[in-house]
Each structure stands twice: as structure tokens, then as C-alpha cells.
Chain A
């Protein structure tokens, strides 16, 4: 069935290092992907998105890479800071066939050590 999964449930990095959070998706019809950050006690916060006609998109300190061949999505955070500690979710929209229903991964907990 359709699913969005994350390779690693937890990731621990040192402050200043780069972080890479991975996500596998199974619905090849998805044409829009999003990364969210959720801090404890808060709702998810939009980080960056990418459409399926792109393979890379950059934001402020973040880069999303999309590899449609292997159905893989990654979020790279440069110079990770303690404030980046949170759960990160990827999501896919399922494409027209699913009427663009958003499906989320289970999340990766990123811990940044000072």
C-alpha cells in the first residue's frame, strides 16, 4: 500500500555538524513533497517543499533532495544548532490518483548535542 517511511527514527549530531534526515516514499504518483519540523508541544512547522519536477531545492540552511528513481527524499540541515532539535516529518501528496491526500512519515527525532 501507499506509505511514507523514515529510515532512522532518531538522529543525534553535534552542534555545528550537518544533519541528513532520510525518507522513503512508495507512491510514484506523488508530485509534491514537504518537510515539517515539530517541536515539543507545538504543531508542525513548514520547512521546505519540493515538486516532483525538481531534484533539489534550497532554503535557509536547509536543502531537500529528491531522487525519484529510488523514491527517496532527504533533508539536509547545515551547521545544525540546538534549536534544530525536534521531530522531522516528511510528507507526500499522493498525486491526482489519491486526490492529493497528504501522507506523513512517522518522523525522525533529531537531537543536537552542544
Chain B
């Protein structure tokens, strides 16, 4: 069974631009969660989607948004990029809502210059 895939793997953007990251969950998984990982803050929860609806949200500004499609694939968007948005963005999927036994993708490394 294929694991969680994320595209692109690496991305370089300029301050003020926007970016869209994509995540394809494990087949059959309906929950997709997004996380930001930085050396200073560690792993931080962004939001969770289940059945195309955002079910949970972390403490991030409104510049961070996401959506989930009917096939459970998810996208995350960050608008008006700031230098501090440079991070590894991880997506994780699970069968059910609530982070239970979730599996992570390899992440997208975003660098904002």
C-alpha cells in the first residue's frame, strides 16, 4: 500500500508570495492533518480535515488555510509569505478523525527568502 505523498518536496519562495502544498493520503484514509516543523518551535499542529471539512485548527494566523477534496487529497495554502514561514510542512493521514494512528508523509521543505 502506498504511503502518504507530498508535493513538491522542496520549494523556494519570496516574501509576499503565496504557496500551495499538496498531500495525497494513504488509500482509504479519510483524515488528513497538517503540521509545521521548525528547529525552534518543533512540530506544531496546523489543521485537520475529515470528509472535506476542517475539524480542528491549531494556533496559526489566517494566512494558513487548507482544503480537502472528495478523494481525501488535501491542499494547504499559505498567503503573503513571511521569512518565519520557512519550515518543513508535514501531512499525516489516518483512517478516522482525531490523529489516531496517523502516518506522515516525507514533508515539503519551504524556504522563504
Contact = CB atoms under 8 A, between A and B. Distances in A.
Contacts of B90: 43-44
B44 interface: yes
Looking at B43, B101, B103, B105, the one whose CB has the most chain A CB atoms below 10 A away is B43
A4 B15 CA distance: 32
- Count class of interface residues, chain A: 20 to 34
Interface residues of B, number: 20
A54 to B, nearest CB: 14
Interface of B: 4, 33, 42-45, 56, 58, 90, 92, 98-107
21 contacts: A32-B100, A34-B99, A36-B104, A41-B106, A43-B105, A44-B104, A46-B103, A49-B101, A91-B43, A91-B99, A93-B98, A100-B56, A100-B98, A100-B99, A101-B45, A102-B99, A103-B45, A104-B42, A104-B44, A104-B45, A105-B42
